[in-house]
Amino acid sequence: MADQTGSTSAATAEGTAAQTASNADLVYARAAAAEVLTKGGKETSLPWENPRTGARGTVTPIAAVYTQDGFTCQDFLASYLREGNKEAWLQGEACRVHQGKWEIRSLKPWKRS
């Protein structure tokens, strides 16, 4: 599966255990990302779970906040695990925009370097 920047579709970086995160699952992951970034702190993780599908994971901010186009932004990693599949990792970027709320700008498969 090809990378899609800003997409709500994701696959494992390794490609051997390709899986697609459903839009419904990613709603929960995005909400957890916004919440953990609001709390602040690079060493904080927040679990998420979609009770309908059983998909779950954690969201962890990485690196320091930075400014982009006048907004405060931060990158994060999100794990994604759905029953019967191997764990996948997603990398995202969020920026604090309207009234201080965090908006997820991208969420794509994480490529280990």
pLDDT tens figures, 23-79? 899 999 999 999 999 988 767 899 999 999 999 999 999 988 999 999 999 999 999
2 is a domain residue: no
3 is a domain residue: no
- Do the beta carbons of residue 57 and residue 76 sit within 8 Å? no
Radius of gyration of the chain (CA): 13
6 is a domain residue: no
pLDDT band for 92, please (50, 70, 90 cuts). very high
Rounded to 5 degrees, what are φ and ψ at 73? -130, 160
Residue 91 has pLDDT above 90, yes or no: yes
16 is a domain residue: no
55 is a domain residue: yes
Domain that holds residue 37: 23-109
9 is a domain residue: no
pLDDT score for 27:
93
Of residues 64, 86, 85, 83, the one with CA closest to residue 73:
64
58 is a domain residue: yes
